Amino acid sequence: MNRRLYLLFAVWTVYCAPLIAQKPAKQSLPNVIYIYLDDMGYGELGSYGQQKIKTPNLDKMAAEGMRFTRHYSSAPVCAPARASLMTGKHTGHSYIRGNYELGGFEDSTEGGQMPLPENTLTIAKLMQDAGYTTGAIGKWGLGMHDNTGNPNEQGFDYFYGYYCQKQAHNFYPTHLWENGKWDSLRNSFIYVHQKLPAGTTADSAFEKFIGTDYAITKMAQKTKAFINKNKDKPFFLYLPYTGPHVSLQAPKEEVAKYLGQFPEEPYLGYKGGYAPNKYPLATYAAMITYIDTQVGEIFELLKDLKLDENTLVLFSSDNGATFDVGGVQTNFFNSVAGFRGRKMDLYEGGIRVPFLARWPSKIKAGTVSDFPSVQYDMMATLAQLTRQKIPTTDGVSILPTLLGSPQTQASRPFMYFEYPEKTGQVAVMIGDWKGVKSDLKKNKQAPWEIYNVKTDPGETTNVALAHPALVQQMESILKASHRHPHIADWEFIDGKLPAKNK
């Protein structure tokens, strides 16, 4: 009997065991890194046509992955764009719809912005549910460590950087934050919104806006440490680095690489505030190139750790290039690639942003997609990526597009945007058609402007009179998409609020 069992086992070993051994192991979930710059315009990367600012590593990322030509931020300013990214809700539904400030610029008055409420489903919580270790390094802008917006309470196992957007106006702060604890830097306090006397040219007058520890450098160091610490398990790393948002500040050796290349005129702080700078053009270029260098080092580390093939890296910006304040000259750099508008506008220059995706084992190199996508798509995309049920969201998963399967890509009926600050604006996109309403704070009956952004990307010719049915369709979408916000400051569309908010 024992001999018979032995023979059967021997036969099974010879014929069956090799087949089991050949069965492919379950594909491990990819690491995900989402790099999210601050006020980077659509045209500020070489892969999007930039001629003056060097971005070799991000250009290489585009060449090795997918470049999107019609990707949009959810809002034209920082906080609501970040809130929509985190929650998958457009700004007609989002809890945070503007930059609602709760503090000042000084360390003693640091208060952050309106916090995300408790029990918010964020993409970080989604990734935690899939078994990921989660980290955020950069500018948060959605609450402080001592309120409901604390990123450690919103799905991030680790946080390092700025909680407050006002603090982030200075790239040489006295401190950053690490999981709710003050991390002192080797910098004295700088009040960046000050002016120098007319005619100032002395180097010493400008040098007081430069410190020792540069915030982006500290973020890059913490990024590498996080990747090294979590290399043996799936991680989700959100990197909202703070450049090239003003103030114009960069390490001297980085600025030196651009000196003499541009026609410089010192910025003395008289146009929109922010730190004076002797070489504003060189500094702006240096800020972008320096971040590009840090991105290159992230890719090198992924390769060294043999994580490169199974890491999805995404890159975008929170809104379009800033209007020309703080010494920034967007026309000189063609920062919005000829589009109309800037930050705080719902025209293309304010919300169309670069978007790159690289995943060597899955995304075909050198591909370009014109599929209209928006940052509130990330919730659905990451849910599908991690094989979870897609939560209720205003977006669609763009994973099929990323993986080169456009035939299975879900279509979208429209994209919706609203912005209660500045003049009060709304935008609706249906395919190549875009409708914009402005000045709604003054005129609730403001007319629609209609543009075909494929044939008229500069939004120069309003064709609303020729398309009355389209105007009506967009008006219907506006009425269906807008929900009353929880504060009166953000209700600019119909002036009505729920009774408890009146």
Q: What is the pTM of this model?
A: 0.93
Domain ranges in the chain with CATH number 3.40.720.10: 31-408
How many Cβ atoms are within 10 Å of 179's Cβ, its own excluded? 14
How many residues would you count in the chain?
A: 502
Q: Are strands 425-430 and 433-437 parallel, antiparallel or unpaired?
A: antiparallel
* CATH node for 31-408: 3.40.720.10
Q: In degrees, to the nearest 5, what angle opens at C-alpha 260 toward C-alphas 257 and 263?
A: 125
**Within 13 Å and on the Cβ side, how many CA atoms surround 14?**
6
Tokens found for residue 325? 């304040």
Q: Do 209 and 195 contact (CB within 8 A), yes or no?
A: no
Burial class (CB in 10 A: 0-12, 13-18, 19+), 111: middle
According to the model, what pLDDT value does residue 307 have? Answer: 98
Domain ranges in the chain with CATH number 3.30.1120.10: 415-501
**Residues in CB range of 405: below 8 A, 6 or more apart:** none
Nearest to residue 44, comparing CAs of 54, 36, 30, 35?
54
Q: What is the pLDDT along the chain (502 residues), one digit of tens a residue?
A: 455 545 445 544 444 444 443 333 345 899 999 999 999 999 999 999 999 999 999 999 999 999 999 999 999 999 999 999 999 999 999 999 999 999 999 999 999 999 999 999 999 999 999 999 999 999 999 999 999 999 999 999 999 999 999 999 999 999 999 999 999 999 999 999 999 999 999 999 999 999 999 999 999 999 999 999 999 999 999 999 999 999 999 999 999 999 999 999 999 999 999 999 999 999 999 999 999 999 999 999 999 999 999 999 999 999 999 999 999 999 999 999 999 999 999 999 999 999 999 999 999 999 999 999 999 999 999 999 999 999 999 999 999 999 999 999 999 999 999 999 999 999 999 999 999 999 999 999 999 999 999 999 999 999 999 999 999 999 999 999 999 999 999 999 987 655 554 4
DSSP label at residue 422? T
According to the model, what pLDDT value does residue 501 have? Answer: 43
| Rounded CA separation 472/490 (Å) | 24
Nearest to residue 93, comparing CAs of 383, 486, 428?
486
According to the model, what pLDDT value does residue 495 have? Answer: 72
Nearest to residue 171, comparing CAs of 180, 161, 157?
161
**Residues in CB range of 227: below 8 A, 6 or more apart:** 235, 237, 298, 301, 302, 305, 307
Instruction: For residue 398, give the 3-state DSSP assignment.
Output: coil
| Rounded CA separation 201/459 (Å) | 40
Q: Do 425 and 350 contact (CB within 8 A), yes or no?
A: no
* CATH node for 415-501: 3.30.1120.10
Tell me, rounded to whole angstroms, the distance of Cα 326 from its chain centroid: 21
According to the model, what pLDDT value does residue 1 have? Answer: 45
